[in-house]
Amino acid sequence: MLFSLISLTHSTTVKAASKINDYIISNKIKPAAIQNQKGTFSEWTGYRKGVGHPEGIVVHETSEANVTAQQFTDRFNAHWPTLETYVHAFVDDNKILNIHNTDYSVWGAGPTANARYVQVELCRVNSYDAFARSLSNDAYYIASKLIQYNLPDIPGQTVISHAQASNTWHETDHQDPVYYFSTWGYSMDQFNDLIKTYYNNLKTYGDVNGHNDHVIKVHNAHGSFVPLVGINTDNQIVPIENRDLGNNSVWYTDQKKVVDGVTYHRVATHEWVADSYKA
């Protein structure tokens, strides 16, 4: 059985242009896993292009200090009919909580934006490191949703702030997350840089931090595919004739083995690729 195929698409990592982004990237901050919690929002309405067809993501922030993603989730689940608002997810420095199926719309940014976008709320935090970690979690959620729905990452189109939604359609007056970002010397443009980096790395390597020792990208400069081999119990190389890897494809590998001076990487239970084919 083949190990996880990460991506067939080549992407270029963008240098994130801010001290906070540099802090996130240089420290290889690892985002939290996305947790799905069953919410109470009972309106199951498709987007304008149909169920399962969002056109991007709206970036919100909660505008309230010292309230965690779980606390906001509990509040929204208890009071959304009175509040007349709901979002798909809450993110803080520790958790990513998805509380409504993103195949369906929510009430977060006015009717026009609601009919187009997945919506995520970023919770306010109180330290530089916590802010960096919350941004990492938020960018990971957004990049993952773009990839899930096969959407390009286009700032101002497939990723917009609530402020941009308000200023475009005038159906709400909220300007988040602009002010909150500014209190940390940060901006929506810089956040878009971080999203772009995560988006490209996820598509290319399957990891927001890019290349790691357990993921390889392969390419055959002299052919249209990358050959595979088997290694038998006598440590002999056995060519595999009926299977190969696509050029510029990315694979998870869990083992290395050296045979006759050549390093091989295991990409399936009995299939290996030579180190010379690493891109």
pLDDT tens readout for residues 13-65 = 434 348 999 999 989 999 999 999 999 999 999 999 999 999 999 999 999 99
Q: What is the mean pLDDT of residues 141-146?
A: 98
pLDDT value at position 12?
Answer: 36
pLDDT value at position 213?
Answer: 65
pLDDT value at position 11?
Answer: 34
Instruction: Indicate if the pLDDT at residue 7 is higher than 50.
Output: no
Alpha helices in the chain (DSSP H): 19-26, 69-83, 111-114, 128-148, 162-169, 178-183, 188-205
Architecture of domain 9-205: 3-Layer(aba) Sandwich (3.40)
Instruction: Indicate if the pLDDT at residue 3 is higher than 60.
Output: no
CA–chain centroid gap for 3, Å, is 20
Dist. CA 250–CA 73, nearest whole Å: 36
Nearest to 34 by CA among 87, 86, 88, 115: 88
Classify residue 276 by its DSSP letter: G
The tokens 């119990």 sit on which residue?
Answer: 233
Instruction: Indicate if the pLDDT at residue 241 is higher than 80.
Output: yes
Q: Give 1's Cβ-side CA count (13 Å radius).
A: 2
